[in-house]
Amino acid sequence: MRGHHPAVLTLLDPDALVTACVAWTLAHLEADTDAGAGAAEVGEAGGKLARGLTAVAMDGTCSRGARRADGSMPQFMAAVTHQQPVVVAHTQIPDKTSEIAAVATLLTELGEAGWDLASTVTTLDALHTVRATAAAVTAAGAHYQLTEPIGG
């Protein structure tokens, strides 16, 4: 190795990098989706509706193997398409908060990157069956499918 140069990624703004990666991923997903537009339909009405919507699963995870000075593991919230196993956005969950607030952050990042939220159905696990999650999703202009009825 000739001379020591700092890693390029350490010089970048993390938020700008995430935005650029989401935009790149979206551009490639749109190209793949357009290529598969002739897929078999699941009934006339259902097929028409399904072609107009994109399902995105959101869930939280810990970054295994990564540790902060206090021993805690960083937690992230990710959005993955149902059609292809592709992470289209992710955000770090701030310490002492939950996944619930991260839903709004992810939706904002997707919208800023050009994702069509009006045609997005967001699926979330039972942790998100609360009014705050439903409100965040609908405020962003998207739709949701939760695993249990909304309570409290």
Position 12: which residue type?
Answer: L
* Residue at 1 is within a domain: no
Q: Would you say the C-alpha torsion 13, 14, 19, 25 has a positive or negative sign? A: positive
Residue pointed to by tokens 């190209």: 31
The region, left, alpha or beta by phi > 0 then psi within -120 to 50, assigned to residue 141 is left
User: What 3-state class would DSSP assign to 13?
Assistant: coil
Contact, 140 vs 108, CB < 8 A?
A: yes
Amino acid 135: pLDDT: 93
* Residue 7 maps to a domain: no
**Does 139 have pLDDT greater than 90?**
yes
**Burial (CB count <10 Å: 0-12, 13-18, 19+), residue 140:** buried
The predicted pLDDT at position 47 comes to 52
How confident is the model over 64-98, as pLDDT tens digits?
Answer: 778 888 878 888 899 988 887 788 888 888 877 78
Domain count, the chain: 1
CA 20 to chain CA centroid, Å, is 14
Is residue 86 in a domain? yes
Whether 42 maps to a domain, the answer reads no
CATH number for the domain spanning 67: value is 3.30.420.10
For 25-63, how does the pLDDT look when each residue is reduced to its tens digit (9 = 90+)? 667 665 554 444 444 444 555 555 556 778 889 998 887
Angstrom distance (rounded) from CA 119 to CA 125? 20
Distance (Å, whole) CA 113 – CA 104: 14
**Pick from 124, 138, 133: nearest CA to 152:** 133
Write out the residue range of the structural domain in which residue 100 sits.
Answer: 49-152
